[in-house]
Chains A and B, each alone.
Chain A
């Protein structure tokens, strides 16, 4: 019964974002939208959480952006290679019910997580507006999959090179101004995007769920590293989340906490790139 976590499929979605499908049938059998896994690339690797994007009978698919040393190392693995560790499904699934009309906001890589959530909401009978935001046209991912998973897909780019010109929050506000009545909003993406989405929905009094991504180590309810303040109380993303009532989350605290190791991570990424022999450092 020893687990072997083989990468069965790998797809490069953009120069910065890759998708891998990992052989993990026990996790695949249990995983629901909104849950995550923790993986380690090698025996000395750090534990990184990634939200599950989709599953088949045998495979668990995650999508990741090459932001640091660990995700760069992960991207060096190819089809047929093995991950050292792959744990899940962790966290509570996203609550799915028939709200009526729901807007699902995905920011960049967050679209990979918004996709299964939108799909589940559609299957539950909702009218789903999936609003996917990207910096620019070149990094739009999953467009075809997203369009199948929702009622109305709205792709936005910050620079206007594709789809709606502006942020997902601009698009949401436009839809509301146009008369769309949303019963619920789910926002998944960068902390700033979720923070501003919540500010907007608070104004319109629309209940809003956010998928939080604080720093995490064990992910199994032991270390307390992923704690955040929700409605004035300490909550743990790995046990109580990762979904929370966005109007109750102290975003500024999470934003500060997530920057705790920024210098370390930048240095580590530079070291990793140097070991690869690459000289190009772009962030």
Chain B
């Protein structure tokens, strides 16, 4: 008999007023009892809708059943066979739009907290020293993966499991892509990313750091070196700006730069040689998850932080959980507000930002109501830093030297449903192919590409 408790078993969290001045993980994870209690809320649907909502197709009722029975090792086996990075997706997936969004328990109450249980199982396995690193015997075929973010790592793991010899080329000095440079420590501890990467290495995946593909080696040169297929998972590229006056002032950051300094380069630590400004009052422009991450980092560095977003609360693209956490931590939301210009002092440092109030008009192409400026409503915010979190454009670097590769109108690598590009043996996925999206969609694309690459190699034989 299922546990008919209507709400999710609460997840222990650091107190908001404590955590907003440290970088330790906010959500602290279920205990064994809590995980079993929550897994017992699953009613084991015969046709589970949750699975159809999962981009990597985890057999959710099966792993929850094992947890409900207290068989955590068996649950880990099921989970990790379907998902190479469960400790990561359990933390950063937007489950409310995916598995949990489809859970029937959500109709009359809260859905089963699938993500929280997933995280528990992955962390439990790591604590026990269990890792699912079994692979098929080596088949002698070499595969190259460009980028070690969620798409690249997932693809590499899947291919290694099938017996391929996989090399991952990473441009930075640390693996993980956005998991390392983008998502902050307090949402996804870097030790967990390192653990998942080391599991891949145990499966025989070779990760080469400091390899900027397109510069040091081109994609055609990877084929010359004996790789039989290449997966491009180089992620998102350069940040976008608003093209308003003052964006070149000292104290105007892109969210990418701000987060990279903090997450990849550890600028928040006292002894870090990479600097970051410790500001008094920061405006973060944008309303997505990246904006929330940047805002919560700025708060932790001691600033008063405002989210400045041109649409309303309903339209905020960030996950509800992130918005909720940000508000709890004292981030101020200035909604229906849009920057017009940024002003600096005589040294060229940010002093203020002029904004205009907005109101929502008719729906636009995105289906959301178009924000329109309210005439004469300009006002000045005194700030000493502005962080632009407006999205990114595709990175052109990895595909340099591959002139025949087709791109989309927006500059992303064009792929078919299987992840294949127009060039034989060249596949792509994640943000490089879709533009900025989520970690789990990138993982789904990595998994799909691995299947397609396997089929491609077999078709050649």
Contacts and interface: CB of A to CB of B under 8 A. Distances in A.
Contact of B215 (A69, A84, A89, A256): A89
Contacts, number: 127
B212 A90 contact: yes
B260 interface: yes
B397 A221 contact: yes
A89 B216 contact: yes
A85 B253 CA distance: 25
Nearest to A264: B275
A236 interface: yes
Nearest to B274: A46
Interface stretch (B87-95, B167-175, B417-425): B167-175
B206 A1 contact: yes
A173 interface: no
Contact of A253 (B215, B272, B348): B348
Contacts of B457: none
Contacts of A30: 215-216
Interface of B is mostly: loop
Contact of B172 (A70, A218, A225, A259): A218
Contact of B212 (A1, A220, A228): A220
Given A217-B265, A221-B238, A221-B396, A87 B257 contact: no
Interface in B163-189: 167, 171-173, 181
A44 B266 contact: yes
Nearest to B212: A220
Interface string A230-270: 00001010010000000000101100110111001100100
Given A85-B173, A253-B348, A223 B277 contact: no
A257 B275 contact: no
Contacts of B171: 87, 218, 220
B209 interface: yes
B239 A223 contact: yes
B212 A87 contact: yes
Contacts of B253: 225
B403 to A, nearest CB: 16
Interface string B94-118: 0000000000000000000000000
B124 interface: no
A125 interface: no
A90 B173 contact: no
A257 B215 contact: no
Contacts of B275: 260-261, 264-265, 268
Given A87-B210, A217-B265, A259 B250 contact: yes
A250 B243 CA distance: 15
A259 B264 CA distance: 22
Contact of B250 (A90, A228, A239, A256): A256
A82 to B, nearest CB: 13
B200 to A, nearest CB: 16
Interface size class of A (residues with CB under 8 A): 35 or more
B230 to A, nearest CB: 16
Interface string B250-294: 110110110011001110000111110100000000000000000
Nearest to B267: A46
Contacts of B11: none
Interface residues of B, number: 47
B249 to A, nearest CB: 8
B395 interface: yes
B232 to A, nearest CB: 14
A239 B348 CA distance: 25
A239 B238 contact: yes
Contact of A218 (B216, B236, B260, B266): B260
Contact of B210 (A86, A222, A228, A260): A86
A27 interface: yes
Nearest to A45: B273
A224 B256 CA distance: 7
Contacts of B264: 217-218
Contacts of A222: 181, 235-238, 256, 260, 395
Nearest to B208: A1
A37 to B, nearest CB: 10
B130 interface: no
Interface string A103-134: 00000000000000000000000000000000
B261 A84 contact: no
A88 interface: yes
B123 interface: no
Given A30-B215, A46-B273, A87-B210, A220 B397 contact: yes
A273 B226 CA distance: 48
A217 B181 CA distance: 11
B241 interface: yes
A203 interface: no
Contacts of A236: 238
Contacts of A84: 173
B217 interface: yes
Contacts of B349: 256
Nearest to A73: B273
A244 to B, nearest CB: 14
Contact of B254 (A89, A90, A220, A224): A224
Nearest to A262: B275
B10 interface: no
Contacts of B397: 220-221, 239
A261 to B, nearest CB: 4
Interface in A192-228: 217-218, 220-225, 227-228
Nearest to A2: B208
When A and B form their complex, which 10 residue pairs have the shortest distance between CB atoms, in order from nearest?
A256-B348, A224-B254, A264-B275, A224-B239, A261-B275, A223-B257, A46-B273, A225-B257, A87-B210, A253-B248
Interface of A: 1-3, 26-27, 30, 40, 44-47, 69-70, 84-90, 217-218, 220-225, 227-229, 234, 236, 239, 250, 252-253, 256-257, 259-261, 264-265, 268
Given A229-B248, A256-B349, 6 more contacts: A3-B211, A47-B274, A222-B256, A223-B254, A224-B241, A224-B256
22 contacts: A3-B208, A3-B211, A26-B217, A47-B274, A85-B210, A89-B216, A217-B257, A217-B274, A220-B172, A221-B397, A222-B237, A223-B257, A224-B256, A225-B253, A225-B254, A227-B241, A227-B248, A234-B243, A253-B348, A256-B349, A257-B348, A260-B250
